[in-house]
Amino acid sequence: MAGQHCKNWKRLSTSRDRLFERSRCMDKRGKIPGQLRPIIEAKLNELQVERKRVSFQAIRRLAEERAKEWDGRFHFRDALAEGTTPRIIAEIKRGSPSKGLFSPDLNPEKQARIYEKAGAAAISVITEKNFFFAAENDFEKVKASTFLPVLRKDFILDPYQIFQSKVMGSDAVLLIVRILEPDQLFDFVETAHSLGMSTLVEVHNKRELDHALEAQCSVIGINNRDLDTFEVSLTRTEDLAGYIDMDKHVVVCESGITGPDDIRRIMKTGVRAFLIGEHLVKSEDPALTLKTLLEAGRNGGK
């Protein structure tokens, strides 16, 4: 299957010249929230530099070579779908635009080992440097420190980043519907899957959820954070979960989990996968915190 990932890769490879224009058009239509504009702009500038350092053709070739080792399983998706107890994606996170740098001394390898030993199903690593304070090689350090599947969490705007993620060793990539056109989303999902990576497709409302379902993704993340205001409300997951066939899709509750009661509350909707970052990173005992959250969701959160 490697090398046959996306029939549209030649068309996609020309997107570099369209990135800024496409982003501007989306911005004019009000699709990109004001809070995200500087992040997107910085990412586009970063992409231009990266593509000069390693060409699209070169990164694609490296990704295809790595994909030849794929065993045919989607380990990230499978890890979230197993069993009936909560499945937690524990995140390596140094800071955020709204909270600033809150974990400057975070040791990613140590944190990953703590998460794995405490029962995490997978690990998420934020790789955005300018606004989320990711350090160079955070992802690679985590990948080398754990047997768990690892999600690359970044602002994916170009197929270059999909191939780059594969070369880095990603088991999954985050795709944010809010910052992608429907055709981009479909192509990115197809390309990632053909390279052996799962996709966590993030939605914030019913319209975005419809786009995610049309893109035939199997893992859907409902982000409880409003991208316009950065305010968080768990009702977003409660409102959207009912539109999703849980037998066909893994649903992940993202943002806003601050304790056992939140786990129990969300599990009543049928959702049993969670992406948790700040609550774990800021904890004085992340292992105990993670175990407490897992225990809260046993027996369906009752």
Catalytic residues: 91, 93, 153, 202, 223, 254-255
Nearest CA to 176 out of 40, 47, 12 is that of 40
In our burial notation (b when 16+ CB lie closer than 10 A, e otherwise), range 188-213 reads: bbbbbbbbbbbbbbbbbeeebbebbb
Distance, CA of 6 to CA of 197 (rounded, Å): 13
DSSP conformation letters of 155-223? ---SHHHHHHHHHHT-SEEEEEGGGS-HHHHHHHHHHHHHTT-EEEEEESSHHHHHHHHHTT-SEEEEE
Beta bridge partners of 201: 175, 220
Distance, CA of 152 to CA of 18 (rounded, Å): 24
